[in-house]
Structure 1
Amino acid sequence: MSVSRQQPATNEDTGERAERGPRARTKRLMLETATRLMQAGATPSVSEVAEAAEVSRATAYRYFPSQAALVQAVVDEGLGPILTWKSTAADAERRVAELFDTAMPRIEAFEATFKAALKLSLDQWARRQAGTLGGEPAFTRGHRVELLKEALAPLKGRLPPRDFKRLAQALSLIFGVEVLIVLKDIWGLDSPRTMSVAQWAASALVRAAIAESATDTPGMTLATT
């Protein structure tokens, strides 16, 4: 009897996999095609990705109902392990350094993809200002906010809330594809020097915030642990 109960479950599982399989492969094909186009510098529409992937537009829009949804999915693919980053370190400066060590090489590897996403964000802003965006879903960016808050977690109870938020905001200026635009494209730095400057700036900001808070709070030590 145990065999008879197990057999239908196995058949059902196989059937579900058969139904999910083609859908999963089609979605993966679209993501890979969109990534390839974005890594080449394009910011493709859903229709353009469908054409390049040889998928019908109707099918493509079932998976990605808007360009924003498509680009967000590609960005999340590019970010990969960054999205689940965690640290066991108790020192905020070290945690920030670990985050930069994990994230920045990955961001550089998908630099063209993230620049294409930034281009979409700026294009939508311009059309919104001009009143021509209409009902198009907005592409939102914000992963760095939670990542930086996680990195700074040891300081959450030590810095005043306003100072904690300001530090996270300041770090966000040097964390992401924008720092590559400034240091590589404008200053002409190579990758190692770019990473070195970003890490130095991040450490300087954390130390400055701690020192400033210690000055404002008598008796507080400068140590971050």
Structure 2
Amino acid sequence: MQAGRGEDEEAPMAGRVNQKLRTRTAIVRAAAELSRTGREVTMPEVAKAALVSEATAYRYFPDLASLLGEAITGQLPTPEEALAPVADSADPVERVAAATEFLLRHVQARQGVVRAMIAATVVRPAESAARPGLRFGLIDHALEPAAASGGGDASADLAQLKRDLAVVVSAEAYFSLTDLHGMDPESAIASLVSTATALTRARLAG
């Protein structure tokens, strides 16, 4: 009899656990789908798409940044995948141009989620590690041929170049041109690709 009562008690508990898991999965899936649209991503929009209340969404995720961090996990390509078109090139300038254009077109296509992640880290700088580090991986991979042939002063120059490129090969730089300078997306991308390649050419030549 006691065994029977135990099984009876476990069944509702298992059902509640499964329901919570389904709800959480629905919220994450909704956020992932919205992140691919390029539109603004907010917790109310995610909750609506997941068919739950906003309060329910916040019970599972304390803020939008933590939700988006999980939602986009696995969506980003590896640097090797992103730079596959220039895999056979040993020219750092060509590779940096490809890396810059890839990142900025990614930002353009998913600017809603990118803006949300930037906003979250501006308000809470300690959570900046939650932002995907795609740009740094792209920069490192683009400059691998230069790293392989460098040493001594060249290594110091390369380290400085990576820091310089991190400013240019970024969502923040793209939004500065489109939002503050009023440039159209294509012109903004072209400008930043030009800047990134000029930096690379000048630093490696020196």
Counterpart of 1:182 in structure 2 is 176
| Alpha-carbon shift at residue 119 of structure 1 (Å) | 0.4
The RMSD of aligned alpha carbons is 3.6
Q: How many residues align?
A: 178
Distance in structure 2 (CA, Å) of the matches to 1:137 and 1:81: 20
> Aligned residue for 1:158?
150
- Deviations along 1:159-183, whole A, 9 cap, x unmatched? 6222211111111111121122111
The alignment partner of 2:89 has SS state of coil
In structure 2, distance between residues paired with 1:138 and 1:203: 27
Asked if structure 2 preserves the Cα contact closer than 8 Å seen for 1:167 and 1:205, the reply is yes
Structure 1 residues 81 and 115: CA distance shift in structure 2, 3 A:
same
Q: Which runs of 5+ in 1 are unaligned?
A: 1-22, 129-135, 213-225
Q: CA 1:105 to 1:137, structure 2 compared with 1: closer, same or farther past 3 Å? A: closer
Q: Which aligned runs of 4 or more in structure 1 are off by greater than 6 angstroms?
A: 23-26
Answer whether contact 2:27 2:47 (CA < 8 A) is retained.
no
| Separation in 1, partners of 2:63, 2:113 | 17
Q: Distance in 2 between matches of 1:68 and 1:168?
A: 27
Do structure 1's residue 195 and structure 2's residue 189 form an aligned pair?
yes
Paired residues of 2:28 and 2:71 also in contact (CA < 8 A): no
Q: Show the 5 A alignment for 1:117-156.
A: 117-125=117-125, 139-156=130-147
Matches for 1:86-125 after TM superposition, within 5 Å: 86=83, 87-125=87-125
Give the conservation status (yes or no) of the 8 Å contact 1:39–1:113.
yes
Letter in 2 for 1:151: A
Q: Is the 2:69–2:130 Cα contact (8 Å) retained in structure 1?
A: yes
Distance 1:170 1:43, change over 3 A: farther
Task: Say if 1:25 and 1:43 are closer, same or farther in 2 by CA, change over 3 A.
Answer: closer
Contact 2:93 2:197 in 1 (8 A): yes
Higher-helix-fraction structure = 2
Q: Which residue of 2 aligns with 1:220?
A: none
TM-score w.r.t. the length of structure 2 is 0.68
What is the letter of the counterpart of residue 76 of structure 2? G
Per the alignment, do residues 75 and 169 of structure 1 end up closer, same or farther by CA in structure 2, a change over 3 Å counting?
Answer: farther
Q: Taking structure 1 as reference, are residues 140 and 155 closer, same or farther at Cα in structure 2, changes over 3 Å only?
A: same
Query: SS state of the match for residue 80, structure 1?
Result: coil
Letter in structure 1 aligned against 2:102: T
What amino acid sits opposite 1:172 in the alignment?
A
1:204 to 1:122, Cα distance in 2 relative to 1, 3 A: same
For 1:166 and 1:75, the matched residues in 2 are separated by 30
Kindly state the Cα deviation for residue 70 of structure 1 after the two structures are TM-superposed.
2.0
